[in-house]
Structure 1
Amino acid sequence: MGARTVRRLLSKIGALLLTLFLSSVVIFSAVLLTPGDPVVALAGGVRPTPEMIDAIREQYQLDQPVWVQYLSWVGSVLTGDLGTSFVYKTEVIDLIAPRFGITFLLVIYTLVLIVVFGVGSGILAAVRRGRVEQAVLVGTSLGVAMPTFVVAIVLIWIFGRVLGWFPVYGPGEGLLDNLYHLTLPAVSLAVLYIAYISRITRGAVVAQLSSEHVETARVRGIPPSRIFRRHVFLNASPQLLSVAGTTIASLFAVAAIAEHAFGLGGIGVLLTEAAARKDLPVVQTLSLMLVALFVVLNAMVDVVIAIIDPDSARPRRDA
């Protein structure tokens, strides 16, 4: 790894840390500024008296200046203390842990579908011009135009109610049963991203197929399969990888749609319920976790790109 690549990686790490710091400030401030008083949740549904309000604010340090509350929260997070839920009265980590597993499995399942069908159809459209390409373009146009919740409703009606092929509620028990229950939720999440990744893949592959170094490789008599692996797909991979980090991170954020539609009870459902009930520790922790996932995944993608193609920022001259 050259000095240029090392400097690039150090720059990315610095940007990552700065982004996490700024995100923590924004998340903490935004949650405090949302309508509603967390004291209501802490009072347990009882109309609090002025004395009870003062006692609750003092107990949970809500009477402290905002900057003191922020430093206390960050210090606790850095030491692994995520706080106690205002609503459930249990440790936040104990609320998140059992729900994260099902959301993680849903995201992985969805990602597999995206890679197989998104990248596969994009490559197919790039190398099989004509009717195949037009069919893929029409299909991806429909996929981009269909919101996730609409896809979920259609899947529930057709494959759950009419055909009865798949369950439409709950995560199931055991890995195989989990995958069986998560099939329709994963498909509902994947449709939009398959269409998006397919178009990105097609554009990147078409650009490489018409590039000068690929033409040179053809003239030299290199087998088409080797040309595609070493000169087309490899050179197109940085563009695909740059989209991968954003895709994976966004799947965690939008998984709540499928979780609500299919009754999965993952972290997306927990986040929306906590936000509605002003459960500050849960909302702050999950929001920061999602931002951290987004930033870290994109940083990891940049590292991979820098390793496999240190000169990706410059045009390739080799054939």
Structure 2
Amino acid sequence: MNLRFLATRLGMLVVTVLVSSLAIYGAMFLTPGDPATLLVGGSRDPDPAVLAGIRQEYHLDDPFIQGYWQWLSGCLHGDFGQSLVYRDSVADLIGARAGDTLALVGYASVLVLTVGTAIGTLAALRGGRTETLTTALTAGAMAVPTFVMSVLLIWLFAVQLPWFPVYGSGEGLTGTLSNLTLPAFALAMTWIGYVAQVTRTAVRAETRSEHVETARSRGVPEWTVIRRHVLHNASAPVFAVSGVGIAGLIATAAVAEQAFGTGGLGALMIEAASKQDMAVVQAVSLIFVVVFVVINTTVDLVSAALDPRAAQKGAR
């Protein structure tokens, strides 16, 4: 892999995280009024001693850069502060909810990778009506927002066909899979459509390439041609869009979590925002940004390893 490309991507990761963290911290100061009053729920007559304690804890009286550095340093050491609403450590709140989000996003990621690539590959290899039908269905899936898909799945598979529960994250492996099936599909459906479309295009292009025709003319078995030449060479764009899709799942997980009551980090952030618990909102927002950027950077690096031409273009 091109070392210049690697250094560029890692540098962009650090810069993106720093700029995002600065924006997340600074958002509190852009809110009209005293940030300390905001942190106690906007009370009209807050206790001055409470306000003073909040200003000291959140370094609101410090110069902006100094306060930002204190907050960021604490985050880097796993100290996200205390929640004024939940009366608990923000790190403990995140730890209690992170497992639900990881399970949901992991389940949805498996669906995106397996279902999306399978549909796209089948459409490209079969062609004809199969390709037309799958293209129409995946295009429709791409157009439906997550919250609309959640309502449709609840109506169909919980009301009309009571096959799956629609609230909570379940207990044990069987219970978790059962409870997370509908939210995972609701979350993944849009990206299943994207991955299927990209897979179909990439596989279709490879089946018409010169080296594939040469392999066939030499009598190489069709399945070997598809596995070694078609699917292998089509893997780079498919992996790239799949990686972006997985990062997108993290960004939209809160919608599915709220719709199905799974109680993950996205739901925690929405609850905290409605109660003006800024310490929780800032911490969860920063975690989402870091995970999103890390996944995108990893996708860029792996895509460059699969297709060195991408690294050469990115390093210019």
Q: TM-score, normalised by structure 1?
A: 0.90
Contact conserved, 1:160 with 1:167, CA < 8 A, in 2?
A: yes
Sequence identity of aligned pairs in percent? Answer: 47
Match of 1:291 in 2: 289
Match of 1:69 in 2: 67
1:236 aligns with 2:221: no
For structure 2, which runs of at least 5 residues remain unmatched after alignment? none
Cα separation, 2, equivalents of 1:284 and 1:160:
35
Of 24, 36, 41 in structure 2, the residue corresponding to residue 39 of structure 1 is 36
Match of 1:202 in 2: 200
Cα separation, 1, equivalents of 2:74 and 2:49:
28
Contact conserved, 1:249 with 1:290, CA < 8 A, in 2?
A: no
- Paired amino acid for 1:310: P
Cα separation, 1, equivalents of 2:54 and 2:288:
29
TM-aligned CA deviation for residue 38 of structure 1: 4.4
Cα separation, 2, equivalents of 1:116 and 1:282:
34
1:13 aligns with 2:10: yes
CA spacing shift, 1:213–1:312, aligned 2, 3 Å: farther
Cα separation, 2, equivalents of 1:61 and 1:310:
47
TM-aligned CA deviation for residue 314 of structure 1: 7.4
More divergent stretch after superposition (58-67 vs 89-98): 58-67
What do residues 5-33 of structure 1 show as CA deviations (whole Å, max 9, x unaligned)? Answer: 33322222222112211221122222432
- Paired amino acid for 1:191: M
Aligned-residue CA RMSD (Å) = 2.2
Match of 1:26 in 2: 23
TM-aligned CA deviation for residue 224 of structure 1: 1.7
Look up the SS of the partner of 1:119 in the other structure: helix
More divergent stretch after superposition (69-78 vs 20-29): 20-29
Contact conserved, 2:112 with 2:242, CA < 8 A, in 1?
A: no
Match of 1:132 in 2: 130
CA spacing shift, 1:31–1:253, aligned 2, 3 Å: farther
- Paired amino acid for 1:202: R
Cα separation, 1, equivalents of 2:73 and 2:57:
18
Residue correspondence of structure 1 range 101-180 to structure 2 within 5 A = 101-180=99-178
TM-aligned CA deviation for residue 55 of structure 1: 4.3
Cα separation, 2, equivalents of 1:225 and 1:236:
15
Cα separation, 2, equivalents of 1:310 and 1:101:
36
Cα separation, 2, equivalents of 1:45 and 1:28:
19
Cα separation, 1, equivalents of 2:214 and 2:31:
60
TM-aligned CA deviation for residue 40 of structure 1: 3.9
Contact conserved, 1:103 with 1:267, CA < 8 A, in 2?
A: yes
1:268 aligns with 2:266: yes
Match of 1:216 in 2: 214
Cα separation, 2, equivalents of 1:259 and 1:145:
20
- Paired amino acid for 1:251: L
- Paired amino acid for 2:86: Y
Cα separation, 2, equivalents of 1:152 and 1:105:
17
More divergent stretch after superposition (125-134 vs 23-32): 23-32
Q: TM-score, normalised by structure 2?
A: 0.91
TM-aligned CA deviation for residue 300 of structure 1: 1.7
Look up the SS of the partner of 1:222 in the other structure: coil
TM-aligned CA deviation for residue 89 of structure 1: 2.2
- Paired amino acid for 1:261: A
TM-aligned CA deviation for residue 107 of structure 1: 0.7
Aligned residues: 312
Of 268, 278, 289 in structure 2, the residue corresponding to residue 280 of structure 1 is 278
More divergent stretch after superposition (13-22 vs 90-99): 13-22
Contact conserved, 1:140 with 1:198, CA < 8 A, in 2?
A: yes
